[in-house]
Amino acid sequence: MRSINLKAPDAEILFWPELIAPQDGESFYQQLLSGIQWRQDQITLFGKTFDVPRLQAWYGDQGMTYRYSGLELTPEPWTPVLRALKARVEQACHGSFNTVLLNLYRDGNDSNGWHSDDEAELGEHPVIASLSLGQERRFRLKHKQGKSKGIQPLSLDLPSGSLLVMSGPTQRCWQHCIPKTSRDVLPRINLTFRNVIDEPEYLRKNNNLVDS
Ligand SMILES: O=C(O)CCC(=O)C(=O)O
Ligand SMILES: [Mn+2]
């Protein structure tokens, strides 16, 4: 299936509107809703502790610890459903991923604030492959220097079964978010497949490069 190139400055963003057919999407959605170990994580900002405004889960290869906003996430092992989805995503975007962060937005009050996925363990040019299941979700992007450079923000509605892949300079130059909505919305699931650099492996490779 062919992708659409969203052509924005300082970004590489590809979009597959229907990577997964609606019937399969509904089945995957139900399996994840009931089968994933959804967690209510908390973050501490300026000395105050808050519930993250959504439920989350972290699955992947063993040993791939991921740190963000003071949280340290140790992955649960891949399940058959997650392996099947990972294979579909990898086949579409010719990438490979060793972890997935899942978000469950229970209703319109749940959200994901402005951020970039630019943690060091994702490497210099992170590839973030975001698969959507459940009701359509509004996804917003803004360039970090959008105002001074006159670059317009983007707003996309991500339907169930769609795949959005951000790569190249996107995380360095842009931020993205899922806003709250006053519309009456059903639960929505997002899976962001990522490739976390395995530190010992990374060091070994670098030493090998120096040796050879
Ligand atoms: O739900 C989405 O599409 C956004 C998820 C996201 O940005 C993240 O988990 O880092
Ligand atoms: Mn993100």
Sketch out the chain's domains with CATH numbers: 4-211 (2.60.120.590)
Structure token pair of residue 167 = 């790569």
Residue 66 CA, ligand 1 centroid: distance in Å = 15
Residue 118 CA, ligand 2 centroid: distance in Å = 9
Sign of the CA dihedral 122, 180, 190, 73? positive
Residue nearest to atom 1 of ligand 1 (CA): 190
Query: Which of 110, 112, 118, 177 is the pocket-test mutation for ligand 1 (most atoms within 8 Å of CB)?
Result: 112
Low-confidence ranges of the chain (pLDDT < 50): 210-212
Judge whether 76 and 57 are in contact, CB under 8 Å. yes
The amino acid present at 200, given as its one-letter code, is P
What pLDDT does residue 202 have?
58
Q: How many CB atoms lie within 10 A of CB 43?
A: 13
Ligand nearest to the CA of 192: 1
pTM of the model: 0.92
